[in-house]
Every structure is written in C-alpha cells, then in structure tokens.
C-alpha cells in the first residue's frame, strides 16, 4: 500500500532515494516537472474545469495539469477510485479543492508545488468507507494518539501511511511529519509505511504520543536499476544485473575508478595487473570468450557507449550497473559480448544548491620484498656469484678448483672480480619509495526554475612509488536538465578532462631491480652514473645504471578527452516518449619521449613523438511507451543508433644518434627518420536498430524480449548485419497467493534468460586484402615497396556469444537477507581469430570466423543486514566460479600452440581452458651424474637441470611429453564488503580473493644471478650448485646457460591465489549539533587504507599475484599469465574529508 499520485510519488521517491537514475527512466517524469510556485501563488491560481462523474484520480490529474500543482496521497485512504463531479469557472485552486474535498472529509496541505491530501483529522471516521461504522468510532474516541515520523536523518517525513492493523483505517502524516489518529484500544498496532523505507509496526500500549524513525530500505525491491536505454524496478528484472551504488567508492585512494569496484560484483573480475600511476586494470565479465576480438566490457557512460573509466571521476558517479548475461546486454547487441558496464553520473538535485567537497591526501607505500629477502652485498654476494659462475664453468668442462681471479688458465667469462664484494645497495629500495597522492573534488548540484544542474571539478595528482612516474588528472563535468515545457525535457552533459602521465621506463621492472648490490646509485662528479661494467669490464650485465634510466627517460603522455551529449525528450502522447540524442567523444593524445644519451646502451640520445586524434559521434533515437492497465504493465522501446569513429595517428622518429646536443629534447634538434615517421587514418561505423518489450502481469509474471540488429563497416558488404535477439522470463513466486503463508521469505523470484550478443572488435577493414609497406633500398635509395599484408576475407562476420542464465533471488527476514544465485552458460561462436593456414598460401594465418569457446559458472551475491539499530552492520558477499573451455577451434585444427622463446607454450585445445600452459612437468632435479643415465633426458641437457616426467613412458623426453599445466584464469573469485556504523563512526572493509590462477613468473630468472645480478633468496634457495651441493632436489640450477632445460617446465609456474583486504575506510561524522551551527549539512573525516593486507600463496615469489606484463588475451599469439616484472602493489594511506553544504 504505497502512496500513489499523479507522478508525484516519483518525485518523492526521487528526492529520497535514487535521485538521478530515475532521470533516465522515460515514463516517470511525465507530470513531475511543474514549476515551483510559491504556495499562495499556486493556490490563488485560477482554473476552469467541468467534470462529471469521473474517478477521483482522473479529476486530480486534470487539476494538476491545469494548475501545475502535483498531488500526493494514498489511494486507499482517500479512496481515489470513487467517482466525483466538480465544476468551476475561473476559480482559484484553493476554492476548487475545498469544494471538491471538504464533503469527502479530506483536507489538503500545500508545500512548494506539492499538495498533500489526507483524511480529516477530526473525523477519522468516514461513513462512506467500507468497514467503518459509527459505533466503533465512538468506542475509540478515548484513544487519540499523536506523533511524528522522521527519516534516518531526523528530517520529518510527510505522506507516511499509518494504518491500524487489521482494519482499513488509517492516516497520513502532514508536511511536518506529524499525525494524529484515533485507535480502538491500547493493544492496537499501527503500521507505518512509506516508499523506500522499511515498514514498522508499533503497539500503542497506552501511549498518547509516538515518535518514530523510519529506516530506509536499502534493498528495497523498488530500487531502480539502470538497464540499456532505460531503467527498471529491481523487482521486475528478468536478467542478471549487478549494481553498485557509490556510497564510499569515491573515498578509495586510487588513480583509477575501476579500483574501487574490486571485489564488489559477482562475476566481474577486476585485476590490477600493473601498479604504475594511471594504469588501467583488466576487467573480465564472466570469463573470456574471445581470442582476437577483445574481452573488454562495453562501458556506457550516461547512455554513451564506448566510454572509458579513465574519463570518470568516481565522485561524479551515482551508480554502476553491470549487465552480465546476454539477455540484458543484447540491447547493446554487437558490443555486449564482454558484458556491459553502465556508469550513471550524478544529476542535479531538486531544491537549493548543495555543495559537496570530497578530498583526500595520501601516501603510496610499495609492498616490497624487503631487504632481508635479498642476498646482501659484500662477501655473501661475492660467494653466491662465485657459485653461480663456477657452475657454468663446471658445465663447460672447466676445472673449478682454479683460482677465480688472476689465473690465465681460467677463461675470462668464468672469472670473478673481487671488486664485486664491495658495496651494499638494495636497488628495490632505491627505485621504489613512498610517494604522495592527492585528490580534490568539488561538486554543486541543485535546481533553479526549469533547470537542474550538477557541476563538478576534480584534480588528482598521483606520484608513483616507482621513481619519477606520475599521473595527474583534471576533470570537469556538467550535467544539466531543462524543462522546456511540460512535455519537452532537454539535457546536456559535458565532461572534459586532461591527463598527464609520465612513465619513465619501458617494459619490465626486473631490468632495473636486478642490479647487483655493488652498483652505486651515486651521481659521479662527471655527471654520470656508474654502470656494472665500470667496476668490472667482463661478464657483468651490460646495462646502464637504473637511475640513469629513470632519471634520463622523459616520456610524457598528455591526453584531452571529452564525452559530451545533448538530448531532448518529447512526451508525445500519454505514456509515449521520444528521446533523441547526439553525443560525441573527442580525444587528443600526444606523446613525447626523450632518452638522454646516458640511458641508452650505445650512448646516443633518442627521441620520438606521436599524436593521435579520435572523433566519435553517436546519434540515438528512442521511442518508448509505458502503460499500466489493470494488472498489466507494459514497457516498449524501439530505437535507432548511428555511430561513426574517425581516428588519426601521427608518429615521428629520429634517426639514431642525430640529436645535435643534449639541451633541446624536442625533435627539431634531430634528423627525422623517414621510415619511422608517418600519419595514418582510419574509420569505422555502426548502425543499429533495436527494440525491447517488457511485460509484467500482476508483479508476478515478468517477461522481456529484445532484438537488435547492427551493421558494421568492419565486415564485408554481404555480412555487415548481425541480429541479436534475447528473451527472459521471471516468476515472483512470493507474490502468489499460495505463498503468502510462508513466513520469513519476503521475496522469491525465479528467472531464466537467453540472449545473443556480438563482437566486432577487430581492426578496421580486415575483410579486405590489404597491401602493406615492404621497404627496400636498391641502389642505396630507400623506396617504399609494397606487398600484400593480409588475405582478404569477404566472409568475415560477427563473432557471436549466446548465453543462458538461470537465477534465483531470495529475500528473507524482512529483506534483511538477500540472496541472488545465478548459473550461466556462455558460448562464444564464430570466433574472430587468426587461424593458421599453410604457409604455401603466402600467409601463415588469416582472420576467419571459426571455433567456439564456452564459459560456465555460477555466482552468489549475498547481502545481509546483520545489525540494523544503533550498531549497524551490513555484509555484501559475492562468489564466482567460472570454468572456461575451448569447445572447438574450427578449420580442422584441434590445437593451437604458441611458444615463448624460453620454452613455455600456451595452448588452445578442445576441451581445455583457453591459453592453458603447456610444457614439460618437472619430476625433480638431475642431481647426480647417475641421474643423467638413469632417467630419460633431452639432448644436450646438463646436470642440475630439471628432471622431466616421461609422461608417455617411452624412455625419452620428446615434445609428446608435454602436458597441460593450468592456466592464468582464477577458478574462483570472491569479494566481501562489510559496513559498520556506530553513532558517528562508520567503517567499511572491502576484501577480495582469487583462487586457482597460475602465473608463469619468469621474472624470477632475473633475480637468480645471471651475468652477475642481484639474488632474491626465495628464488635461489636450495638450488643445485654442483654435484657436491645438489640442493633439495626440487630446485634446479637456473643459469642462463641451461635455462632452456628449466623454463620449459612448470618450475616457473606459481600459484597466484590470494586474499586481499583491498580497502579499509574508517569515518567519523561530526555531530549534527555542531555542524548545524556551522551551517554545514554534513562533515565527515575518514582514514582510508587501500591494499591494507595481501595474503599470497607461500610459493608465490613475485610482487603482485595479479601482475602480468603480458597484455592478457589479444590474439592467437597471446601469452596471458606471463610476468616479466610488474611493479609492487602500493598500500595507500589516505586521510580525507567529505563536506556537504
């Protein structure tokens, strides 16, 4: 029994809860944007009408239209279905209302432009009300109860329904939240209910005054969820959608908005693979399904598809929804296969301007291995180096009893210079140090006359814990909504932002950290940094000093990006709206690189520059129709969308060694290289038509179906168009009469969905046979020759993902426990990927549509409100299990293998997870010369290397002995967020766990001493050093000279499971008594710690179990799970404040 009014319900609802999501809803604003008039002005407004025997609600609606006022009432209490007549000629609103309502014993109260209708306090008895009788009225006359209802913040709640339990008698609170009601007895129970709040039952118990606070129903079933092209009530969803509201997400000290979502969404794995400032994490929704066409989800920002988290300030975010199953994503058709993430930004709030300030300063502290994990400089380092080099010498057949230094008989490369025993520097500590970060956000939102606005500004400055790296971002946003007329609404959104990023070393951290402890970081008097070979010309690593690298490399990327959109929404007919929008995303990026001579191996300064420009416009036109008739509810949309993307890149390179002097770093100081400089342009376009029907019968049976067709320029003329249908149904069992008796279960919904989505993320024009450059220099003249660079394939078409999802939603104990279970099966067919073809065709591979990959899994989302009173504790837990396998590779191939030069392979094989590791299994170490005879070995294998398992027992180690050794994907990942509140304190703890992923941690190799470098103890302990020091039989000799007989096994595969406390946020809100005096609505201080604790598997030796240097899955030659040295995770301590005026 909710309050119902001609649209006003929504406004109320809007104010209290979901604010802006609703702005996207196409049908709820029909009457809600009347201009605010002053009360008296409104009541004095003159209207004329003549209605005979019409339903009360129709009459009120008419008055509302004529006067601009909107009504708020409980349909039951005023019996809005009864028929009345009213007639007025140029009368004031006030007199019309009196004329209409007084005889019905209904009073009215006006506030701003709202008019609250209530039953007359002095006469709770209404003779026309069924079930009421004058007799009982008299009997109750003694027990008159007054009181006040407030919300959780102590603000009065007008319009709250108060019902005497077991009767249909009731009352509504007035604008000050006050009520007065006559009850039959002391035992009477009053039920207080209000949209968006938990109902409360109170026994009168002889009291004459009752003050009560209603608690918001966070998980109310009336919660709105943003879906593609609209919103839906959560209760009527038929598909798998996860939602995160921005409650404290903007208080996590992190450069990227995605980081705040880690561990909060079932089925969504967000992995922070690199820890450089501004580095984007990888997001995978329900497992990867594509080989070459990208597994990234589509990001939709306020309806603009194809955005990026890098352009988002978390402070501006209202909520984030993830459309996980194909049924919900199908409305984005062609691009939904990686899932869809919808970001909704804040919109203007009603009423006076509200200022919000959110700011924090913090410090990033890298989680290092620590000094005690490294072999210190000095004698110990010398000894280890000597062991390392003697081992190589032993293999080369040398006499290791020869003196290590000063003996001509020992070949140069096997000598050890005693100079390396001097100095004790730890390069990890030198390069990685705590670094500050700061973030300032200010936003103002409000409304004035016909306009609502939200504007914000944000400055973020994050220094990397890796020396000299930095990320600065300046963001602005304006979201404006305009009511041009009662039927026309328009909006504007712009979000320009500018980022500056400095990333001062290329590739992998190991190149720097591996430096031996004798290498000094001190600047020499001649302005140089020493290199290892300054100490000892021979044998040591040839690199430059890491400080020269990081201080001498000047790599800057400046990016300007703006997503902007304007839209207009017309209300054409009752329930029928048309919205048309034009949006664009414009992006400019420039990169300037300069490496000082000291950085480079050949002591020549180098430089390059590149520019890129992307202009992407989109036009969308959507008709939507909403109608409720009886127990039927119908919501239909139909629309068309056109998108065009143009890009241009320019690159400039200089000829090696031509910088005229080290003073000027720009390229005007050097000779431009003809082969490295170019401009190029490309474009793609997408035209789409879509429609969707949502039908709801009696809130019990829900049905949704959609169809989208997309045409893409990336496919040949005959295969451009793809069709993406979906259908889903849900049954709210708990709404059935037979279920009413079931105690404890408030909500039980069963749902099932099926849908198809597509993928077109291949390069532009790949269906055409392209001709590329093939430069040659006959006669010493450089000429751009040409040669075919790809096979044309006019048959190329959409990659399609068809998936079904079965879900159960359960609400228990007054919805204090909410459980959502989903099982899904996601099959990606017609994979777009480069299959191998016979090289005699001229090419080794060509892009085709073959093969299937399946992801199956289940998800649990469990939210509980453990304590709801003074001490509040809420828990949100999610669990995801995903299993990926290749169903078919097509083209006659049953496996595809790609190999790293150090021996590890990645395999695509039918029945196995995609890109599984494929190599030899280590059975032990060849410890003694006898082992070399007793066990099968590979040709040229050395003692001390891996003893391989002879899988096929044929007495030799051949490629047939290779086996599948796990993969990079976690089998299970979980997240848990606990929110606590007590008095003015609040605490949030967010945790994340991932189980079952394996990393090929080749990084270890660099910390094992090759060519005289640092030794990381966990990577070298118990190794085989010589027949006299054979180690523990589990750790082979890891020398470069024998590495191929180590790294082609599972020796470097490590368990990358972990449990992380990703964020702890402790806040204190200054009591309102104090803040009110300062005219502040709210002032909260918080301490936030990101990556507070990480528990890694004991065998894991890297910095970051999610840290991969390989770029995930991006084509058939991907080597996901390979780590060559990612940065340590940063623990960030931040102190922030949140201020609302």
Partner 1 sequence: MKGLLRISIICSSLWVTSCDVVNLEPISTLTEANFYKTADDMDRAVLGVYNRLQSRLPRDWSVFEMPTDHLYMSAYRFIGGLEAVNTLDFQAQNDIFRNFWQTTYNGIYRANMVLDKIDNPSNYAAGQKEKLEGEARFMRALFYFDLVRSFGGVPKVDRPLTVEESKSMPRATEAEIYQLIVDDLKKAVELLPVQSGTVYGRASKGAATALLGKVYIYLEDWQSAYNFLNQVDQYGYGLVDNFADLWKESNEDNKEAIFAVKYLPGSNGHRLSLDFLPYFGVEGISNSTGGEVALVGWSLHKQYLEEDTRKAATITEYWRSPGTNDPLEWKPYISKFIAQQASASGLDIPVIRYADVVLLKSEALYRLGRKEEALTELNRVRTRAFKGTSHNYTLADIASDDQFLDVLLLERQLELALENQRWFDLIRTNRFIQVLSKVEWGYNPITQTAQEVTLTPKPSHRRFPIPQHEIDQAYPNVITQNEGY
Contacts of 559 (CB under 8 A, 6+ apart): 498, 499, 501, 587, 588, 589, 590
- 392 belongs to the binding site for partner 1 (CB under 8 A): yes
Say which residue the tokens 């073809």 belong to. 837
Question: How many of the other CB atoms lie within 10 Å of CB of 779?
Answer: 6
- Alpha-carbon distance of 874 to 977, in angstroms, equals 8
- Alpha-carbon distance of 497 to 37, in angstroms, equals 38
Alpha helices in 675-733 (DSSP H): none
DSSP symbol at 18: I
**Binding residue (CB under 8 A) for partner 1 from 405, 697, 739, 776:** 776
User: x/- contact string, 846-885, with partner 1 (CB under 8 A)?
Assistant: x---------------------------------------
**Binding residue (CB under 8 A) for partner 1 from 186, 959, 1021, 1071:** 959
Q: Which stretch binds partner 1 (CB under 8 A): 67-75, 94-102, 209-217, 532-540?
A: 532-540
**Binding residue (CB under 8 A) for partner 1 from 55, 65, 98, 533:** 533
Closest CA to 312 of 620, 304, 102: 304
**Binding residue (CB under 8 A) for partner 1 from 893, 932, 995, 1017:** 893
- 898 belongs to the binding site for partner 1 (CB under 8 A): no
Q: Reduce the DSSP state of residue 259 to 3 states and report it.
A: helix
Q: Which stretch binds partner 1 (CB under 8 A): 446-454, 763-771, 866-874, 916-924?
A: 763-771
Q: Identify which of residues 135 and 601 has a Cβ nearer to partner 1 in the complex.
A: 601
Q: Identify which of residues 118 and 410 has a Cβ nearer to partner 1 in the complex.
A: 410
Chain-centre distance for alpha carbon 1093: 21
Whether 332 and 340 have beta carbons less than 8 Å apart is answered as yes
Q: Identify which of residues 407 and 1028 has a Cβ nearer to partner 1 in the complex.
A: 407
- 765 belongs to the binding site for partner 1 (CB under 8 A): yes
In the complex, least distance from residue 839 CB atom to partner 1, rounded to whole angstroms: 4
- 611 belongs to the binding site for partner 1 (CB under 8 A): no
Q: Identify which of residues 843 and 980 has a Cβ nearer to partner 1 in the complex.
A: 843
- 899 belongs to the binding site for partner 1 (CB under 8 A): yes
- 610 belongs to the binding site for partner 1 (CB under 8 A): no
- The DSSP bridge pattern shows strands 70-72 and 114-119 to be parallel
Closest CA to 989 of 1087, 1096, 911: 1087
In the complex, least distance from residue 954 CB atom to partner 1, rounded to whole angstroms: 15
- Enumerate residues 322-361 that contact partner 1 by CB under 8 A: none
In the complex, least distance from residue 133 CB atom to partner 1, rounded to whole angstroms: 52
Say which residue the tokens 């068809």 belong to. 802
- Alpha-carbon distance of 1043 to 1036, in angstroms, equals 9
- Enumerate residues 816-845 that contact partner 1 by CB under 8 A: 836-844
- 486 belongs to the binding site for partner 1 (CB under 8 A): no
- Enumerate residues 632-651 that contact partner 1 by CB under 8 A: 640, 642-644
- 777 belongs to the binding site for partner 1 (CB under 8 A): yes
Burial of 614 (0-12, 13-18, 19+ CB in 10 A): middle
Q: Identify which of residues 415 and 1084 has a Cβ nearer to partner 1 in the complex.
A: 415
Closest CA to 478 of 467, 489, 493, 500: 493
- Alpha-carbon distance of 659 to 64, in angstroms, equals 76
For residue 105 the two structure tokens come to 């014993």
Q: What residues are paired with 754 via a beta bridge?
A: 727, 804
Closest CA to 347 of 445, 432, 425: 445
- 401 belongs to the binding site for partner 1 (CB under 8 A): no
- Enumerate residues 718-757 that contact partner 1 by CB under 8 A: 720
Q: Identify which of residues 244 and 490 has a Cβ nearer to partner 1 in the complex.
A: 490
- 53 belongs to the binding site for partner 1 (CB under 8 A): no
In the complex, least distance from residue 459 CB atom to partner 1, rounded to whole angstroms: 37
- Enumerate residues 1012-1071 that contact partner 1 by CB under 8 A: 1040-1041, 1043-1044
Question: How many of the other CB atoms lie within 10 Å of CB of 104?
Answer: 17
| 360-378 core/surface letters (b: 16 or more CB in 10 A; e: else) | bbbbbbbbbbeeebbbebe
Q: Give the CA dihedral 407, 409, 411, 417, nearest 10 degrees.
A: -10
- 378 belongs to the binding site for partner 1 (CB under 8 A): no
- 90 belongs to the binding site for partner 1 (CB under 8 A): no
In the complex, least distance from residue 802 CB atom to partner 1, rounded to whole angstroms: 24
- Alpha-carbon distance of 1089 to 1093, in angstroms, equals 10
- Alpha-carbon distance of 217 to 18, in angstroms, equals 12
Question: How many of the other CB atoms lie within 10 Å of CB of 858?
Answer: 18
- 484 belongs to the binding site for partner 1 (CB under 8 A): no
Q: Identify which of residues 144 and 528 has a Cβ nearer to partner 1 in the complex.
A: 528
Q: Which stretch binds partner 1 (CB under 8 A): 77-85, 311-319, 423-431, 712-720?
A: 712-720
Chain-centre distance for alpha carbon 620: 25
- Enumerate residues 964-1003 that contact partner 1 by CB under 8 A: none
Strands (E), 1-74: 46-55, 70-72
- Enumerate residues 563-582 that contact partner 1 by CB under 8 A: 570, 572, 578, 580
- Enumerate residues 11-30 that contact partner 1 by CB under 8 A: none
The number of residues that bind partner 1 (CB under 8 A) is 94
Whether 337 and 759 have beta carbons less than 8 Å apart is answered as yes
- 105 belongs to the binding site for partner 1 (CB under 8 A): no
User: x/- contact string, 665-694, with partner 1 (CB under 8 A)?
Assistant: --------xxx---xxxxxxxxx-------
**Binding residue (CB under 8 A) for partner 1 from 103, 370, 788, 1071:** 788
In the complex, least distance from residue 543 CB atom to partner 1, rounded to whole angstroms: 8
HSE-CB of 438 using CA atoms within 13 angstroms:
4
- Alpha-carbon distance of 115 to 158, in angstroms, equals 11
- 397 belongs to the binding site for partner 1 (CB under 8 A): yes
Say which residue the tokens 């929008």 belong to. 581
- Alpha-carbon distance of 822 to 695, in angstroms, equals 22
Q: Identify which of residues 205 and 842 has a Cβ nearer to partner 1 in the complex.
A: 842
Q: Which stretch binds partner 1 (CB under 8 A): 372-380, 786-794, 987-995, 1080-1088?
A: 786-794
- 527 belongs to the binding site for partner 1 (CB under 8 A): no
**Binding residue (CB under 8 A) for partner 1 from 206, 370, 507, 537:** 537
In the complex, least distance from residue 948 CB atom to partner 1, rounded to whole angstroms: 16
- Alpha-carbon distance of 941 to 1044, in angstroms, equals 9
End-to-end CA distance of the chain: 35
**Binding residue (CB under 8 A) for partner 1 from 136, 655, 978, 1140:** 655
Q: Identify which of residues 196 and 711 has a Cβ nearer to partner 1 in the complex.
A: 711
- Alpha-carbon distance of 510 to 72, in angstroms, equals 67
- The DSSP bridge pattern shows strands 200-203 and 209-213 to be unpaired
Q: Give the CA dihedral 758, 759, 764, 765, nearest 10 degrees.
A: -50
Q: Identify which of residues 774 and 1074 has a Cβ nearer to partner 1 in the complex.
A: 774
Look at the chain and count its residues.
Answer: 1141
In the complex, least distance from residue 389 CB atom to partner 1, rounded to whole angstroms: 11
Q: Identify which of residues 663 and 680 has a Cβ nearer to partner 1 in the complex.
A: 680
Whether 489 and 466 have beta carbons less than 8 Å apart is answered as no
In the complex, least distance from residue 675 CB atom to partner 1, rounded to whole angstroms: 5
- Enumerate residues 413-452 that contact partner 1 by CB under 8 A: 413
Q: Identify which of residues 53 and 781 has a Cβ nearer to partner 1 in the complex.
A: 781
**Binding residue (CB under 8 A) for partner 1 from 52, 372, 408, 1028:** 408
- 411 belongs to the binding site for partner 1 (CB under 8 A): yes
Whether 207 and 144 have beta carbons less than 8 Å apart is answered as no
Q: Identify which of residues 206 and 842 has a Cβ nearer to partner 1 in the complex.
A: 842
């Amino acid at each position: 029994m909710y309050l119902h009014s001609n649209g006003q319900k929504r406004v109320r609802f809007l104010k209290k809860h979901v604010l802006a999501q609703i702005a996207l809803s196409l049908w709820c604003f029909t009457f809600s944007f009347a201009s605010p008039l002053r009360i008296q002005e409104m009541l004095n407004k003159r209207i004329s009408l003549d209605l005979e025997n019409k339903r009360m609600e129709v009459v009120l609606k008419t008055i509302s239209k004529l006067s601009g006022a909107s009504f708020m009432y409980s349909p039951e209490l005023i019996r809005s279905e009864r028929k009345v007549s009213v007639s007025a000629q140029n009368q004031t609103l006030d007199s019309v209302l009196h004329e209409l309502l007084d005889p019905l014993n209904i009073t009215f109260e006006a506030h701003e432009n709202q008019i609250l209708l209530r039953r007359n306090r002095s006469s709770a008895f209404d003779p026309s009300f069924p079930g009421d009788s004058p007799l009982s009225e008299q009997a109750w006359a003694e027990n008159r109860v007054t009181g006040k209802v407030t919300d959780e913040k102590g603000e009065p709640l007008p319009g709250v329904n108060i019902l005497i339990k077991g009767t249909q008698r009731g009352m509504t609170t007035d604008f000050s939240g006050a009520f007065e009601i006559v009850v039959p007895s002391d035992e009477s129970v009053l039920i207080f209910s209000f949209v968006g709040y938990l109902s409360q039952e109170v026994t009168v118990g002889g009291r004459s005054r009752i003050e009560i606070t209603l608690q918001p129903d966070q998980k109310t079933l009336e919660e709105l969820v943003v879906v593609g092209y609209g919103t839906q009530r959560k209760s009527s969803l038929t598909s798998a959608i996860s939602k995160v509201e921005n409650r404290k997400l903007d208080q996590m000290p992190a450069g990227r908005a995605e980081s705040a979502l880690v561990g909060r969404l079932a089925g969504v794995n967000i992995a922070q693979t690199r820890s450089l400032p501004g580095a984007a994490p990888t997001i995978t929704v329900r497992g990867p399904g594509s080989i070459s066409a990208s597994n990234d989800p589509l990001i939709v920002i306020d309806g603009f598809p194809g955005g990026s988290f890098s352009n988002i300030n978390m402070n501006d975010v209202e909520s984030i929804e993830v459309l996980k199953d194909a049924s919900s994503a199908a409305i984005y058709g062609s691009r939904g296969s990686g899932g869809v993430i919808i970001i909704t930004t804040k919109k203007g709030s009603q009423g006076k301007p509200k200022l919000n300030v959110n700011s924090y300063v913090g410090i990033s502290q890298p989680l290092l291995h620590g000094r005690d994990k490294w072999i210190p400089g000095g004698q110990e380092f010398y000894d280890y180096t000597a062991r390392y080099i003697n081992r190589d010498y032993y293999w080369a057949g040398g006499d290791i009893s020869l003196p290590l230094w000063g003996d001509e008989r020992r070949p140069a490369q096997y000598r050890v210079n005693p100079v390396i025993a001097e100095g004790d520097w730890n390069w990890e500590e030198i390069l990685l140090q705590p670094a500050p970060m700061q973030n300032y956000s200010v936003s103002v939102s409000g409304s004035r006359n016909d306009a609502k606005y939200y504007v914000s500004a944000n400055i973020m400055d994050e220094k990397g814990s890796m020396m000299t790296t930095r990320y600065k971002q300046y963001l602005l946003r304006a979201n404006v909504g305009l009511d041009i007329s009662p039927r026309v609404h328009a909006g504007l959104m712009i979000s320009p932002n500018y980022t500056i990023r400095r990333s001062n070393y290329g590739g992998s951290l190991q190149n720097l950290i591996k430096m031996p402890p004798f290498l000094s970081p001190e600047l020499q008097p001649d302005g140089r940094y020493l290199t290892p070979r300054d100490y000892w010309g021979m044998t040591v690593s040839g690199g430059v000093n890491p400080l020269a690298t990081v201080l001498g490399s000047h790599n800057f990327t400046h990016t300007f990006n703006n997503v902007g959109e304007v839209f207009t929404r017309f209300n054409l007919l009752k329930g029928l709206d048309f919205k048309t929008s034009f949006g664009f995303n414009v992006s400019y990026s420039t990169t300037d690189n300069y490496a000082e001579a000291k950085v480079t191996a050949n002591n020549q300064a180098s430089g390059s520059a590149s520019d890129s420009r992307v202009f992407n416009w989109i036009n969308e036109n959507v008709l939507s129709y909403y109608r409720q008739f009886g127990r039927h509810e119908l919501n239909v949309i139909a629309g068309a969308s056109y998108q065009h993307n143009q890009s241009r890149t320019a690159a400039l390179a200089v000829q090696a060694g031509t910088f005229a002097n080290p003073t000027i770093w720009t390229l005007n100081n050097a000779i431009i290289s003809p082969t490295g400089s170019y401009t190029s342009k490309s474009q793609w376009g997408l035209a789409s038509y879509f429609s969707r029907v949502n039908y709801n019968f009696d809130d019990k049976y829900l049905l949704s179906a959609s169809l989208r067709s997309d045409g893409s320029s990336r496919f040949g003329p005959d295969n451009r168009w793809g069709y993406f249908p979906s259908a889903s149904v849900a049954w709210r069992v708990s709404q059935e009469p037979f279920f009413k008796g079931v105690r404890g279960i408030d909500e039980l919904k069963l749902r099932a969905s099926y849908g198809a989505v597509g993928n077109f993320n291949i390069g532009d024009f790949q269906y055409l046979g392209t001709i590329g450059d093939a430069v040659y220099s006959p006669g010493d003249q450089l000429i751009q020759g040409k040669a075919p660079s790809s096979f044309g394939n006019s048959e190329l078409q959409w990659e399609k993902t068809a998936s079904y999802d079965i879900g159960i939603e359960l609400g228990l104990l007054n919805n204090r426990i909410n459980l959502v279970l989903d099982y899904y099966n996601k099959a990606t067919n017609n994979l777009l990927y480069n299959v191998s073809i016979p090289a005699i065709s001229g090419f080794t591979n060509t892009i085709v549509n073959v093969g299937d990959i399946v992801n199956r899994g289940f998800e649990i989302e469990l939210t509980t409100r453990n304590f709801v009173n003074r001490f509040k504790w809420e828990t949100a837990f999610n669990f995801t299990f995903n299993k990926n396998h290749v169903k078919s590779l097509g083209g006659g191939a049953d496996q595809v293998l790609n190999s790293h030069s150090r021996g590890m392979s990645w395999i695509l094989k039918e029945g196995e997870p995609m890109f599984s590791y494929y190599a030899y299994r280590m059975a032990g170490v060849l410890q003694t010369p006898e082992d070399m005879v007793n066990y099968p070995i590979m040709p040229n294998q050395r003692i001390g290397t891996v003893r391989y398992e002879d899988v096929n027992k044929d007495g030799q180690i051949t490629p047939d002995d290779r086996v599948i050794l796990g993969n990079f994907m976690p089998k299970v990942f979980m997240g848990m967020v606990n929110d606590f509140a007590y008095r003015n304190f609040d605490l949030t703890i967010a945790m994340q766990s991932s189980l079952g992923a394996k990393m090929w941690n080749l990084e270890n190799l660099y910390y094992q001493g090759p060519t005289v470098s640092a030794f990381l103890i966990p990577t070298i302990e118990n190794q085989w050093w010589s027949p006299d020091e054979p180690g523990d039989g589990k750790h082979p000799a890891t020398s470069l000279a024998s590495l191929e007989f180590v790294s082609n096994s599972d020796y470097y595969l490590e368990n990358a499971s972990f449990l992380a406390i990703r964020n702890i946020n402790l806040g204190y809100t200054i009591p309102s008594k104090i803040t009110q005096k300062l005219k502040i609505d709210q002032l909260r201080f918080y301490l936030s710690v990101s990556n507070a604790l990480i528990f890694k598997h004991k065998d894991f030796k890297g910095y970051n179990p999610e840290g991969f240097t390989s770029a995930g899955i991006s084509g058939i030659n991907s080597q996901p799970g390979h780590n060559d040295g990612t940065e340590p995770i940063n623990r960030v301590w931040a102190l922030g404040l949140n201020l609302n005026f």
